[in-house]
Amino acid sequence: MRRPGVTDMPEAPDRFPRIALVGRPSSPGLDEPLARLAAFLGARGHQVVVEAETAAQVDGAAFASVPAAEIGAQADLAIVVGGDGTMLSIARRLAALDVPMIGVNQGRLGFLTDIPLARMESSLEAMLAGRYVEERRTLLDATVTRNGGQERALALNDVVINRGSLGTMIDCGVDIDGRPMFTMRADGMIVATPTGSTAYALSAGGPIVAPGVPAWALIPVAPHALTHRPIVVDDTTTIRLTVIRGRDAAAHCDGQVRFPLAEGEGVTVRRAAFTARLLHPEGHDYFAMLRQKLHWSETPDRLRGPSHDA
């Protein structure tokens, strides 16, 4: 018999008993959705921790915090509240730890963070009960060699080599599996994963590559010769991008990690040894998502909005 004044604690759920929350850096509206999310998860019996940088932006005293590097040891799932940039950043850290991630969209398009804030609790209720779709996304492993040493970084979207602030084009060499492919003069070169094919690569004229296709897309950025066109290669290939001529060039991973490059230096790109685990709501359809985000089903008059004619 329950004693008077004693409230039953919810039992720990069998699925994802420990959940880490990660928020968008410097987001002014982060407190309210994080508090909602923590309360919702606590009521279901989940143990909740908040990634340390996220906790520092909100009322950290209200949450148990954990460094991002320790999420794999202290959580069975990460829920990311933010935009795709937030998901890219945490995915690079968690992929090697094999921690699944759910994205709640607080940004704009949200190709990776596909749950709207307005439906956060209802969507998560179903997913935490087991009604979800799991998807694994490949990552790029980028290595820069210079001064006798190596620097490495991962990318879920893309690795880009481009010109710097001086504004002049660079001459870039592209090798595939140690064989010369071409040399071009351009603003830069993008190596995109299928995930990244809807990001910078898309704006540069590259193809959209479905997530399950084992391929990389190579897209020249504003090439001087119009004969340099995007090409798709097998994701088992090793790609080498070299700055042959050009000052202030750099390599970028997901637009968040930067390596300055001098003439003769470059970056070697290959498939990473692990993948990012994304969980989507039940019934998730990649092509339906593209139709919605890219307005493929909209006519020009509907895209413009209501008419203001008299």
Q: Of 76, 84, 141, 158, which is the active-site residue?
A: 84
Residue 291 C-beta-side C-alpha neighbours within 13 Å: 8
Contact (CB, 8 A) for 99 and 274: no
Which residues are registered as beta bridge partners of 230?
A: none
Active site residue 84: yes
Side-chain half-sphere CA neighbours of 130 within 13 A: 3
**3-state DSSP assignment of residue 154:** strand
Residue 36: CB atoms within 10 A of its CB come to 14
With beta carbons less than 8 A apart as the criterion, state whether 8 and 2 touch: yes
Mapped onto helix, strand or coil, the DSSP state of residue 200 is helix
* Partner residues linked to 22 by β-bridges: 80
Note the maximum CA span of the chain.
Answer: 81
Which helix (H) or strand (E) is 180 found in, with range? strand 179-186
CA distance to 126, 170, 177, 257, per residue, from 264 (Å): 53, 12, 18, 20
Q: Which residues are catalytic?
A: 84
